[in-house]
Amino acid sequence: MSGRLQKFAYKPVGLLLGVAAGAIAGFVTKKVWQLAAGEDETPDATDEDRGWGEIIAAAALQGAIFAVVKALVDRGGATGVRKLTGEWPD
């Protein structure tokens, strides 16, 4: 498969994997926050009843979890494409 065609073919797969990564990361973040803080929802940045420390901690946790889940999903998707096509997607 040519590089241009392969890149075009992988775009929808990458998009779907990104959506899946976001959903998984949101679920994992919620569960980790429940264990860490004993609350059902992570605080919103505009929640005036929450302090800066809690808001920053929740944002850092959410960002770290999203980055790890996205890397896992992207790497898994690229590995799957290589198994199907014999070439690594760009």
Query: By the 8 A CB rule, do 2 and 70 touch?
Result: no
Task: Please write the tens of the pLDDT for every residue from 49-69.
Answer: 999 999 999 999 999 999 999
Alpha helices for the chain (secondary structure H): 3-37, 52-85
Residue 90 has pLDDT above 80, yes or no: no
Query: By the 8 A CB rule, do 90 and 3 touch?
Result: yes
Looking at residues 17-21, what average pLDDT do you find? Answer: 89
What tokens were used for 35?
A: 């264990």
Q: What is the mean pLDDT of the chain?
A: 87
Q: How far apart are CA 54 and CA 32, in angstroms?
A: 14
**∠ CA(24), CA(48), CA(40), 5° rounding?**
35
* pTM across the whole model: 0.78
